[in-house]
């Protein structure tokens, strides 16, 4: 399950669709682990964007955070971090 808290960042519907497309792989990997929830929260301060991701799966909780000047770059970085962490957890489960 994915929960999005856009905070003080205005996301158009096309931006939300892009966001969901970028997070497809992450959500699929989390669902394979079981009991997966992902909470994304956006905030803007000045010219910068901060994105926080709190994830919960069958193996426990973890969090990722990034700050960027553009929201797209922040989401890409969060997506990479989440995918990497979930992949690591999948490999740990196999051992």
Q: Please state the pTM of the whole predicted model.
A: 0.87
Closest C-alpha to 50, from 58, 38, 40, 60: 40
* Number of structural domains the chain divides into: 1
- pLDDT of amino acid 41: 94
- pLDDT of amino acid 11: 86
Q: What range does the domain containing 51 cover? A: 2-94
Closest C-alpha to 4, from 77, 69, 17, 25: 17
d(CA 68, CA 91): 30
User: What does pLDDT average to in each consecutive run of 10 residues of the chain (95 residues)?
Assistant: 87 91 92 92 92 92 94 93 93 84
Please, what's the b/e burial string for 62-83 (b: 16 or more CB within 10 A of its CB; e: otherwise)?
Answer: bebebebeebeebbebbbebbb
For residue 61, give the CATH number of its domain. 3.30.160.100
């Amino acid at each position: 399950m994915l929960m999005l808290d856009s905070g003080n960042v205005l996301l158009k519907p096309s931006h939300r669709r892009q966001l969901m497309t970028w997070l497809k792989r992450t959500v699929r990997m989390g669902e394979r682990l079981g009991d997966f929830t992902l909470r994304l929260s956006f905030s803007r301060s000045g010219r910068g964007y901060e994105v926080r991701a709190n994830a919960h799966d069958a193996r426990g909780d973890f969090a990722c955070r990034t700050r960027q000047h553009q929201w797209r770059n922040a989401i890409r970085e969060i997506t990479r971090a989440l995918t990497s962490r979930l992949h690591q957890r999948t490999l740990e489960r196999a051992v």
